[in-house]
A and B are shown apart, each in its own frame.
Chain A
Amino acid sequence: MRFCSRSAKTVFLLVLCFLLFLPSMNLSQTQERFPKPDFQSGYTRPDLLTPTPRSQLLEYLDVLVLLVALALATYFAHKLRSRRKLFVLMVFSLIYFGFFRKGCVCSIGAIQNVGYAIFNSGYAVPLTVIIFFILPLVFTLFFGRTFCAAVCPLGAVQDAVVLKPTKVPAWLAEVLGILPYIYLGLAVLFVATGAGFIICQYDPFIGFFRFGASFNMMIFGASILLLGTVVARPYCRFLCPYGVLLNWMSRLSRWHVKITPTECNKCRLCEESCPFGAIKTPNEPRYQGSKEKTVKSLAALLVMLPLFIGGGGWIVSRLDESLSRQHFTVSLAEQILLEERGESTVLTEETKAYRASGKPREELFQEAVSIQEKFRLGGWFLGGFIGLILGLKLLNLSVLRRQLEYDVDTGTCLSCGRCFAYCPFEHVRLGLITPEEAAAQGARDPEAREKNENENV
């Protein structure tokens, strides 16, 4: 880490640890939206964990901050190629969008608001939420994932704890890489059926940002951070549903950061620099066996693609009962049924409140059945989507692509700028060494020299 001194990072980690452990000191910062109601029943009112609503003007200020942060991140990554400046901006984003704004509104969670608005014509999603959802995607479409590099607070909190990153084996990264698609599909299914906002519900870091969450979520968040010390940004790479969309957009990006500012002399110095495994190494496509055989297996996979889609749809649609239990109406109907059958002796607050409402039980059961049907139909789409992704991943693995030099994988590269300092031509750009010295870097590395010679032969 040339740009970021070790001592500065240690100080930052200490401050971060202090902030993360504040919840255990019971320093609740949550505020009430309205005056306390006067309960006569002796209940102790539970603490609220949601942040206070902001005025419209301040919400637009958030949008402005997002826009400026995205523009700065892009400028630092593309023009200045400065890891240090990206790191400073990342700390600012963590403080502003994370601890100050308490992680809300965030682009990741906005998926659900937008999804809910698409499936529910009666829901008017606030304009600021729409902008929070679309703006990072548009930036990514042109400049790559600069949002992940220095603007996303969830990414920032993980990036700050990367201490000794280890390389995740390619096969494991491919397998785990399917999880964000499943998570995204589930999140959309849950908002489409009105079951809930699971991305917010299971956000591992929101408890830290708001200085309070359930014990389980705090443990989950702490585990992710602990894992993040050795596996860089595990949530971003293997869970983040917004990352799926950013990955797609980044593949189409007009301009994307490159490891080298000029040319690649294949010195291999950058090979191990990326903790996210987002560097593509030069290769020469070699067919295992005959070319015809490879083409045949590719054709077989293409034919099997509809089977993957259909099979996935069938499997997930079978899970409708267990998935629909996450919907409040279905779980309430089941609980009432259990209580009526005498299988549950303890009456819950929800069932007591429902009975007090005077609504007929048949109405509830009918609604529960209709929700279950929605889950069955949605299960077909979700399973089909997962099957399609699985099939496309297999197809992608079967396609052999020629790679001439070291370059970033535009889909998975987070534009963090860690690799810049490893390129000798970056040092030339900064005026630290001469072009001749940079050209000699590759020759000094015995492995690179041998590899270059073989390639030249």
Chain B
Amino acid sequence: MNFKIEEIENRREFLKKSTRTLALGGFVLLGGFLGMRRSDGENSASSCALNLPCRDCASLSRCQEPRALPSKQNEDFAQGFENEKR
């Protein structure tokens, strides 16, 4: 009976170890894949680019509405970041 429990424990440990190695490999791949990616310019740097009302508005740059301010700032920030990188 004890032998059986040991066997189960060994099997569990082996599965855990394998899954752990897989997970670690997955993180390395994910980190490498995302870290090596270069931006195409649109959304880079502005990590909170979403959820802004005028994100896709064509007249954003000349818009005077106060609610457009955060979007404009994000765009300016992204452009500034791109210029800095260059």
A residues neighboring B (CB under 8 Å):
33-34, 37, 39-41, 43-46, 48, 50, 53, 105, 113-114, 116-118, 120-127, 129-131, 134, 137-138, 141, 191, 194-197, 200-201, 249, 251-254, 328-329, 332, 349-350, 352-354, 356-359, 402
Given contacts A121-B37, A134-B31, A141-B27, 14 further A-B contacts (CB under 8 A): A39-B64, A46-B69, A50-B48, A116-B50, A117-B34, A123-B43, A124-B39, A126-B47, A195-B51, A197-B48, A328-B51, A328-B53, A349-B53, A356-B63
Bound complex: CA A127 to CA B33 (Å)? 11
B37 contacts which of A40, A105, A124, A354 (Cβ < 8 Å)?
Answer: A124
* Contact (A358, B59) CB under 8 Å given A114-B30, A196-B50: yes
> Which of B5, B47, B73 is the most central at the interface, judged by chain A CB atoms within 10 Å of its CB?
B47
Residues of A within 8 A of B5 (CB): 402
Cross-chain contact B44 with A124 (CB below 8 angstroms): yes
Bound complex: CA A222 to CA B41 (Å)? 40
Bound complex: CA A310 to CA B53 (Å)? 35
Cross-chain contact A191 with B50 (CB below 8 angstroms): yes
Least CB distance, A351 to chain B, in whole angstroms = 10
Bound complex: CA A114 to CA B34 (Å)? 8
Residues of A within 8 A of B53 (CB): 328, 332, 349-350, 353
Bound complex: CA A107 to CA B24 (Å)? 17
Residues of B within 8 A of A200 (CB): 48
Bound complex: CA A120 to CA B5 (Å)? 48
- Which residues of B, 7-53, contact A by the 8 Å Cβ criterion? 16, 19-20, 23-24, 27, 30-31, 34-35, 37-45, 47-53
Residues of B within 8 A of A45 (CB): 66, 69
* Contact (A138, B35) CB under 8 Å given A105-B47, A328-B53, A329-B56: no
Cross-chain contact B55 with A328 (CB below 8 angstroms): yes
Chain B, 64-86, contact with A by CB distance < 8 Å: what is the 0/1 string? 11111110110011000000000
Least CB distance, A213 to chain B, in whole angstroms = 15
Cross-chain contact A34 with B73 (CB below 8 angstroms): yes
Least CB distance, A450 to chain B, in whole angstroms = 25
Least CB distance, A2 to chain B, in whole angstroms = 33
Determine the residue in chain A with the shortest Cβ distance to B42. A122
State the majority secondary structure of interface residues on B: loop
Least CB distance, A121 to chain B, in whole angstroms = 8
* Contact (A40, B64) CB under 8 Å given A124-B37, A358-B58: yes
Cross-chain contact B57 with A124 (CB below 8 angstroms): no
Residues of B within 8 A of A402 (CB): 5
Residues of B within 8 A of A120 (CB): 43
Least CB distance, A175 to chain B, in whole angstroms = 27
Least CB distance, B63 to chain A, in whole angstroms = 6
What are 16 residue pairs bridging A and B, where the CB atoms are less than 8 Å apart in the complex? A37-B69, A37-B72, A39-B66, A45-B66, A114-B30, A121-B40, A124-B43, A125-B37, A130-B31, A141-B20, A141-B27, A194-B50, A197-B50, A251-B16, A328-B51, A349-B67
Cross-chain contact B66 with A43 (CB below 8 angstroms): yes
Residues of B within 8 A of A354 (CB): 57
Least CB distance, A331 to chain B, in whole angstroms = 10
* Contact (A34, B66) CB under 8 Å given A141-B20, A194-B50, A353-B57: no
Cross-chain contact B65 with A196 (CB below 8 angstroms): no
Determine the residue in chain A with the shortest Cβ distance to B19. A252
Least CB distance, A355 to chain B, in whole angstroms = 10
Cross-chain contact B59 with A197 (CB below 8 angstroms): no
Cross-chain contact B39 with A123 (CB below 8 angstroms): yes
Bound complex: CA A114 to CA B54 (Å)? 23
Cross-chain contact B30 with A201 (CB below 8 angstroms): no
* Contact (A130, B35) CB under 8 Å given A40-B64, A48-B70, A197-B48: yes
Residues of A within 8 A of B56 (CB): 329
Residues of A within 8 A of B73 (CB): 33-34
Bound complex: CA A43 to CA B67 (Å)? 10
Bound complex: CA A39 to CA B64 (Å)? 7
Cross-chain contact B38 with A357 (CB below 8 angstroms): no
Least CB distance, A31 to chain B, in whole angstroms = 12
